[in-house]
Structure 1
Amino acid sequence: MAVVAMIPVMIPQLGEEEAQAAADAVRSGWVAQGPRVARFEQEFAAAVGATHGVAVSSCTTALHLALVLLDVQPGDEVVVPSLSFIATANAVRYVGATPVFADVDLATGNVTVETIEAVRTPRTRAVIAVHQGGVPFDTAALRKAADGWGVHLVEDAACAAGSTAYGQPAGAGATIAAWSFHPRKLLTTGEGGMVTVDDAAHAARLRRLREHGMNVSAADRHASSQPVLEAYLETAFNYRMTDIQAAVGLVQLGRLAGLVAQRRELAARYQELLADVEGLTPVRDPAYGQTNYQSFWVLLDERHERDEVLAELARQGVSARRGIMAAHLEPAYADVEAGPLPNTERITRESLILPLHHKLTADDQEHIVGVLKGLA
């Protein structure tokens, strides 16, 4: 039986420039958090319209630090979408608070003012809203609503580097936003994350929290020509990024606009090719913004069984993936009471993610769509 060459669902765009930047960091002798991290923080924050960036070890730790910063505690509730990678809900448990699952809009996969309002209670201290798969949520509506409710809005922008809302980068104007640089994202440092804020005092505390609560960073201490006796101001964490990662991130940041343009072009071609395929609804831009198409998903109707579609794609040499998970259906959250989440359950049950990356060719896309048409 012949082995079918698979079209991968994703490939990180890394090249010789990233390899050279990492090697230069190694040769410099400074491989821990240092000057490259500081530069990456400044340049990334500027790129997403924020004043301050605080680099961390992952988006998960970014979300954790955001909730610590906002003093979310046991007894508090935090509204989150169930339709998100499980780290979104896990961060709430890290601070001892209770995650409350909200449903999402069927077209965007994002929470809305209405879905949050349906589950908000007097114990709601914060909302974590996700720009799901790179599709921006309605930043204007949610920020206004959060202010009116008197709750904190944390923006989970893990997938959103390069997306826009109302003509601005998805994180611009956020009180606090968390970002991911995992290899599944457009901009990768292997692992890693960032917290962006506009408040200088918040940025200063986040820097302490990521580095054991020290009042002076290790980089500043080692750079000083005089002895520095640090103090540890509070119990905190080791959530630092390395200069090797930041060196790669700086190169990737320079590629970001081109990566987004290429993915949007590929997504537009998918949408054109899928226009006459019955029973499939491809993801599209919301009216108020543009997605970076970190993921390109299609929603199936009752004529198609998702797992059968995935199996047929695999038989035909296409590596696709199930759609976004629903945390409330996982064993880890079996003890959490969740109200009706019809859109969440439909999307997680009836959607799949198609290949989208810089090496995807026109022939690849025609083959993938051809397989889908054969199932119609």
Structure 2
Amino acid sequence: MSAPALARIPVMIPWLGAEEAQAAADAVLSGWVAQGPRVAAFEAAFAERVGAGHGIAVSSCTTALHLALVALDLGPGDEVIVPSLSFIATANAVRYVGAEPVFAEVDLTTGNVTAATVDAVRTERTRAVIAVHQGGVPADVHSLRDRCAGWGLALVEDAACAIGSTVGGSSVGRGALLAAWSFHPRKVVTTGEGGMITTDDAQWAQRLRRLREHGMNASAAQRHAATTPVLESYLEVGFNYRMTDIQAAVGLVQLGKLDEMVARRRALAARYDALLRDVPGLRPVRDPAHGRSNFQSYWVLLAEDFPVGRDEVLAALSAAGVSARRGIMAAHLEPAYAGHPHIPLPVTERISRDSLILPVFHTMTEEQQDRVVAVLREQAAP
């Protein structure tokens, strides 16, 4: 009789349980399921957690990026510097406002843009920069903020993966002009889908709240709470980018688990580091000197002379029952950006070609990690 097949190891499982289910049920039973009091509570708790003055909950990080660029009044004729090495939404958000994304190179170690790589593509038409905290690895935003201020450029932080990461001992997002966050199920904190914008600017926060709700000067919650009729006005063309109270209820529970989740992911990353230390040709992602990662993703970069290619490694992992993913994509190599002008991006292309993301999730066992590492050892053998 053959041995039973081992259960497949997923690349990520959200850490959700009875507490989140009860919170969602309570929201449903309250009768208020659209954007309402739980969204407001989640906004306040999230902003406090990252050290921002205001939180504006939206339907996704993509819509958060879009609204951030709308708030900056960017449009046709403007250039926005972005890394190509990022999920395609980063570049797409620039196109949503009619501006032109300009692809900057990234640092080989962190996968993030730097002041030097931004400067290399800056022109007279540049109006803003989007810095991504890639995979939870914090970008050196203190340097970027100083340089962008000197250049007269707005710096938007794509912090989709970075809740719980730190820069200089403070939360990513603290002091940001505008930061965009994701609550997708592959992120550390999830609401199923959903996003957030954080800022210290009260006027921007007020406008962003209007923009997410069709440009109305009075939200549905405000109208519901009023004791006299409220005749709303639509002050500008807005969008339907709202979060529901059901999602926010889950988010509040998840936010309470954040410290435990980050500690667990960092412990798993440390164990991967130890297990992979003597495997030739693999370079795991590391904390940068200026901050600490939440290890939303644990990715490894293959040496250029690794015995097999990245796709062969992914196939071997899959055959062994391990779900892994290709590393961070390069937007300029996708059909959507075919023909889009850009400088040579050898580091971006190297990371995109030679990196892969390994499974990391809260309930991962040592046996599961050992299985992942065993496959990598086999592939590294000459």
TM-score (norm: length of structure 2) = 0.97
C-alpha distance in 2, partners of 1:285/1:260? 13
User: Which range moved further: 1-10 or 267-276?
Assistant: 1-10
SS of residue matched to 1:213: coil
Residue 11 (structure 1) aligns with: 13
C-alpha distance in 2, partners of 1:259/1:60? 24
C-alpha distance in 1, partners of 2:323/2:256? 29
Could you tell me which of 362, 375, 378 is aligned with 1:374?
Answer: 378
Read off the aligned partner of 2:31 and give its amino acid letter.
G
SS of residue matched to 2:74: coil
TM-score (norm: length of structure 1) = 0.99
Residue 314 (structure 1) aligns with: 318
Could you tell me which of 121, 124, 127 is aligned with 2:123?
Answer: 121
Residue 288 (structure 2) aligns with: 286
Deviation at 1:4, TM superposition (A): 4.7
- Could you report, residue by residue, the CA deviation over 1:41-62 in whole angstroms, capped at 9, with x for unpaired residues? 0000000110100000000000
Residue 142 (structure 1) aligns with: 144
Could you tell me which of 54, 60, 63 is aligned with 1:61?
Answer: 63
C-alpha distance in 2, partners of 1:327/1:237? 26
C-alpha distance in 2, partners of 1:20/1:360? 24
SS of residue matched to 1:345: helix
C-alpha distance in 1, partners of 2:215/2:362? 41
Read off the aligned partner of 1:202 and give its amino acid letter.
W
Residue 183 (structure 2) aligns with: 181
Residue 207 (structure 1) aligns with: 209
Could you tell me which of 32, 35, 50 is aligned with 1:33?
Answer: 35
Residue 254 (structure 1) aligns with: 256
Does residue 305 of the first structure (1) align with residue 309 of the second (2)?
Answer: yes
C-alpha distance in 2, partners of 1:351/1:113? 24
Could you tell me which of 312, 326, 332 is aligned with 2:330?
Answer: 326
C-alpha distance in 1, partners of 2:228/2:367? 62
C-alpha distance in 2, partners of 1:104/1:32? 40
Read off the aligned partner of 1:321 and give its amino acid letter.
R
C-alpha distance in 1, partners of 2:255/2:214? 28
Which runs of 5 or more structure 1 residues have no equivalent in the other structure? none
C-alpha distance in 2, partners of 1:269/1:5? 21
Which runs of 5 or more structure 2 residues have no equivalent in the other structure? none
C-alpha distance in 2, partners of 1:29/1:359? 34
Root-mean-square deviation (Å): 0.9
Does residue 341 of the first structure (1) align with residue 345 of the second (2)?
Answer: yes
Q: Which runs of 4+ in 1 moved over 6 A?
A: none
Residue 99 (structure 2) aligns with: 97
Deviation at 1:3, TM superposition (A): 4.8
% same residue: 71
SS of residue matched to 2:257: helix
SS of residue matched to 1:153: strand
C-alpha distance in 2, partners of 1:139/1:115? 13
Residue 365 (structure 2) aligns with: 361
Read off the aligned partner of 1:305 and give its amino acid letter.
G
SS of residue matched to 2:82: strand
Read off the aligned partner of 1:354 and give its amino acid letter.
L
User: Which range moved further: 304-313 or 2-11?
Assistant: 2-11
C-alpha distance in 1, partners of 2:128/2:5? 50
Deviation at 1:5, TM superposition (A): 2.4
SS of residue matched to 2:75: coil
Q: Count how many residue pairs are aligned between Structure 1 and Structure 2.
A: 376
